[in-house]
Amino acid sequence: MIAEIAHKGRTFRVDLSKPLDLSMPLHAGPDQARAWWIDPVTMEPVRNGETIYAVKEGSPVNFRTIRFNPHGHGTHTECVGHITPEVYPVGGLLKRYFFTAQVVSLLPETRRAPDGRTDQVITLEQLRQVVNERPCEALVLRTLPYDPGRSSKDWSGSNPCYLQSSACAWLRSIGVKHLLLDLPSVDREEDGGVLAAHHAFWDHPATLDLERTITELIQVPAEVRDGEFLLELQLPHFMNDAAPSRPVLYAFLP
């Protein structure tokens, strides 16, 4: 299915029958991607007395209760409600779901942190070198080297790569509305609760930005080249600061 998308005086053609999924699957068990020391996802049949609502147990239907945390388990999208006293819901935030997007791949730089640990950081200078002069609405960041095992990794206590707050402030200043990355957070795992990159991207508390989103723990397939795409960003109507999401790219046709 070929569609034409008009944006800022430019017309793009995409084949909607060839999606490029950036999300991790959400499933029960210890091999689900997770972070922040959260317990594994559980998906268990409802029990009512001796009745177990699973077809293999004789029930006419499978009827399972799922327990997970949007921030800690797999691909999720969050809004400024993540860092505000009032929990603004991400589920009703978007007014449309298709955006122009640029995919960039960067090898983090090694930096020595004040606490003496060696950090892996995506810097402002790195982003300046690769982001288009006419920025897209969304930026999809793939960190190198490529690791196909991200979808089953427990990131807790691993001091993952993160973004400089100045890099997030710059992305905001040039008009990037949606930031997607293959890391558990834009911020350092242990930063004393400062969350400098989150605050910089949303300009909080100076601004209450109910337009921008951050999507974390994506997985960019190895076959996806760097460049411009059409992004579809879908998420359930959760009345929460974050929700599991399924970002999908579509390549522009010649």
Q: What angle do CA 128, 130, 131 make, to 5 degrees?
A: 70
CB atoms within 10 A of CB 106: 17
Please compute, for residue 240, the number of CA atoms within 13 A of its CA located in the half-sphere on the CB side.
13
Rounded Cα gap, residues 59 and 118, in angstroms: 54
Rounded Cα gap, residues 35 and 23, in angstroms: 16
Strands of 2-143, DSSP E = 2-7, 10-15, 20-21, 42-45, 47-48, 51-52, 64-67, 76-78, 98-106, 109-112, 118-122, 138-143
CB contact at 8 A, 183 and 162:
yes
pLDDT computed for residue 3 by the predictor: 85
Q: What is the pLDDT of residues 30-48, one digit of tens each?
A: 899 999 999 999 999 999 9
Q: Judge whether residue 7 has pLDDT over 80.
A: no
Domain boundaries, the chain: 2-30+70-251
pLDDT computed for residue 213 by the predictor: 98
What are the start-end ranges of the H helices in the chain?
Answer: 124-130, 165-173, 196-202
pLDDT computed for residue 86 by the predictor: 95
- Ranking 56-60, 84-88, 115-119 by mean pLDDT, the lowest is 115-119
pTM of the model: 0.95
**CATH ID of 2-30+70-251, from 3.40.50.1980, 3.30.2130.10, 3.50.30.50, 3.60.10.10:** 3.50.30.50
pLDDT band with cut points at 50, 70 and 90 for residue 8: low
CB contact at 8 A, 241 and 82:
yes
